[in-house]
Amino acid sequence: MTQSLIAVLDDDDHVRAATASLLRSVGYRTLLYASVEEFFAGAPREVDCILSDYRMPGRSGLELLEELRGRACDVPFILMTAFLSDPLRSRALSDGALAVLDKPVDEERLLGLLESALEH
């Protein structure tokens, strides 16, 4: 059985590494990116889910979501932010995000969302 591959985008090295460590500890494989530009430049393989920070240098996680949906890419997408607001949550969900998580992210909630997203 192939382990699911999760792309993690966050400009904070520590958050990116901690998130990847958590995901690997429960059996997921990870690809790590510090920006949307790095994600696209890395010619990412097919991923099973994207976990992205909202605020990053260059394009935001929300802009990544919009671009992917514009390309008819329906990979499950979870947005994380330390700047959560109702308008941001509403926009992300209407653009197709599975969830918008407030930082610091509740690990159990994140893992539950991933499990649910990857079952479908």
Segment 5-18, tens digit of pLDDT: 999 999 999 999 99
Question: How far apart, in whole angstroms, are the C-alpha atoms of residue 45 and residue 25?
Answer: 22
- Domains annotated for the chain, with CATH where assigned, are 1-57+64-72+87-99 (3.40.50.2300)
pTM attached to this predicted model: 0.94
Report pLDDT for 28: 96
- pLDDT for 100-118, tens place per residue? 999 999 999 999 999 999 9
Q: In what helix (H) or strand (E) does residue 36 lie, and over which residues does it extend?
A: helix 36-41
Q: Say which amino acid occupies 27.
A: G
The b/e string for 89-113 (b: 16+ C-beta within 10 A; e otherwise) is bebbeebebbbbbeeebeeeebbeb
